[in-house]
């Protein structure tokens, strides 16, 4: 027997989680389910919510001060152009309600400049409160602290890059041993756990708690700086408490510098979203890939008063070799782009693997890229084209299915890496797709 819901979201990243939450919010009486195959990609993300960091047609002009000023200039087909700037604002407000006091930045439309582990700054609209005291717009001097066993963050190099980039403060870097960690292959969660639990560690002065030991080691390097930045490993479940204890011991504000994957801020965002899904009553089914689907033909859909393509009747998931049908009234596809394998390429074609939705691309595969590795790469924009309801379009610009919407990186028409818009597009399109799906299913 088929498992039945009103709205079925496929994909467990930021776009999928947002779509499921928005559907539940738009129609509290509908049954919403999120189906995801693998562990969420959120743990590989920075945890920052970027709307638009650089203008697509003139990235050399530098970071955008106000991303909303540039939204009206985006080309036709860009996901933001599809949903409109009002929807982007609504999606941000929706995220603010979900995130509560875990994120900052809702006091202004302007981008904040958040230093990253490479010593660059990322323009972003919302950022974890753990990074708030490290903003590059702050003119207070900063000490950046790296750990000998965590080579992904070279604090002296990051400080030098910030100075070279014209940061309005003096940055200095120091590399120290992390109390209680002696292996350079320790997972970031090991650092966080030591500080979360304030485990007893042994130092030259004897046994003490991990937080006190870390603060003592840093204090020996601290000069006149009024803020101290650490790689983003300062706890997980008790991160705010860890930062507060370190700040009190050092007499300086403490902030985290977002790291590459795996990312604790990304894991914290994942926990925040999935806690919200549980609270909203969204059913989550994980570890099962969607492998097939069945439709009602277009003439049957028209007879029921529908329009725009066939109607998806059910999808089929693979649970340990057993095929199980899942039926819903509305579907949202949020499986990611080329990186997440929500869009795939072969030598002769680019395609979406679940519903075989059309992916616009040049017939000649040598036109999918340019020789300049730093050039404007066509493949970076590969993804589904959609109408303004975010329904995927076929090669004739007609909806593929009447009850399927797409959200996040599976959509094409933009280069999220160059624009610094990935999280923002996932949030805005997830919000719109989920809201529309919930309203249609109600």
- 83-124 pLDDT, tens digit per residue, is 999 999 999 999 999 999 999 999 999 999 999 988 889 999
The whole-number pLDDT of residue 297 equals: 65
Beta bridge partners of 45: none
Per residue in 362-375, pLDDT (tens digit) is: 887 877 777 776 67
Tell me: pLDDT of 301 over 50. no
The whole-number pLDDT of residue 342 equals: 92
Count other Cβ atoms within 10 Å, centred on residue 251: 11
More confident site: 381 or 77: 77
Average the pLDDT over each of 39-48, 257-266, 362-371 and give the range with the smallest value.
362-371
The whole-number pLDDT of residue 99 equals: 97
Confidence of residue 308 (pLDDT cuts 50, 70, 90): low
Q: Which of 283, 353, 290 is nearest to 317 (CA)?
A: 290
Beta carbons of 50 and 125 less than 8 angstroms apart: yes
Tell me: pLDDT of 302 over 60. no
pTM of the model: 0.93
Q: If you average pLDDT over residues 376-400, what whole number do you get?
A: 92
Q: Which of 117, 164, 108, 115 is nearest to 138 (CA)?
A: 115
Mind listing the domains of the chain with CATH numbers?
Answer: 3-101+267-441 (3.50.50.60), 117-257 (3.40.50)
Q: pLDDT exceeding 70 applies to what percent of the chain?
A: 96
Confidence of residue 305 (pLDDT cuts 50, 70, 90): very low
Confidence of residue 232 (pLDDT cuts 50, 70, 90): very high
Q: If you average pLDDT over residues 30-54, what whole number do you get?
A: 90
How far is it, in rounded angstroms, from Cα 61 to Cα 57?
10
Per residue in 323-359, pLDDT (tens digit) is: 999 999 999 999 999 888 899 998 888 999 999 999 9
The whole-number pLDDT of residue 184 equals: 81
The three-state secondary structure class of 353 is coil
* Placement of tokens 């981008």 in the chain: 111
């Amino acid at each position: 027997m088929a498992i039945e819901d009103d709205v079925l979201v496929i994909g467990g990243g930021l776009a999928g989680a947002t779509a499921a939450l928005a559907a539940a919010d738009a129609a509290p009486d509908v049954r919403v389910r999120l189906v995801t195959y693998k562990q969420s990609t959120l743990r590989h993300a920075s945890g920052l919510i970027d709307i638009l960091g650089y203008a697509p047609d003139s990235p050399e002009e530098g970071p955008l001060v106000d991303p909303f000023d540039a939204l009206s200039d985006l080309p036709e087909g860009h996901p933001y152009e599809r949903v409109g700037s009002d929807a982007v604002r609504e999606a941000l407000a929706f995220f603010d309600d979900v995130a509560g006091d875990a994120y900052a930045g809702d006091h202004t439309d302007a981008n904040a400049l958040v230093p990253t582990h490479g010593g660059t700054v990322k323009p972003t609209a919302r950022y974890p409160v753990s990074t708030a005291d490290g903003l590059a717009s702050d003119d207070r001097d900063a000490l950046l602290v790296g750990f000998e066993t965590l080579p992904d963050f070279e604090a002296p190099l990051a400080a030098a890059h910030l100075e070279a980039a014209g940061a309005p403060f003096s940055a200095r870097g120091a590399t120290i041993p992390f109390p209680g960690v002696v292996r350079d292959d320790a997972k970031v969660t090991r650092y966080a756990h030591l500080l979360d639990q304030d485990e007893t560690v042994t130092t030259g002065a004897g046994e003490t708690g991990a937080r006190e030991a870390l603060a003592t080691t840093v204090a020996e390097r601290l000069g006149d700086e009024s803020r101290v930045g650490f790689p983003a490993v300062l706890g997980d479940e008790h991160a705010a408490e860890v930062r507060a204890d370190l700040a009190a011991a050092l007499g300086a504000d403490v902030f985290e510098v977002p790291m590459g994957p795996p990312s604790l801020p990304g894991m914290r965002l994942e926990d925040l979203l999935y806690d919200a899904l549980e609270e909203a009553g969204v059913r989550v089914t994980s570890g099962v890939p969607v492998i097939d689907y069945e439709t009602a033909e277009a003439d049957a859909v028209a007879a029921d008063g529908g329009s725009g393509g066939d109607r998806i009747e059910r999808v089929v998931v693979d649970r340990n070799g057993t095929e199980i049908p899942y039926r819903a009234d509305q579907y949202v596809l949020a499986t990611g782009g080329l990186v997440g394998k929500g869009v795939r390429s072969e030598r002769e074609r680019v395609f979406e693997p679940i519903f075989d939705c059309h992916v616009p691309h040049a017939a000649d595969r040598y036109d999918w890229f340019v020789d300049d590795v730093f050039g404007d790469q066509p493949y970076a924009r590969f993804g589904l084209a959609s109408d303004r309801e975010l329904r995927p379009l076929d090669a004739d610009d007609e909806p593929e299915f009447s009850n399927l919407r797409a959200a996040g990186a599976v959509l094409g028409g933009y280069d999220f890496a160059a624009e610094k818009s990935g999280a923002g597009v996932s949030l805005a399109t997830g919000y719109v797709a989920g809201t529309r799906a919930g309203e249609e299913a109600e």
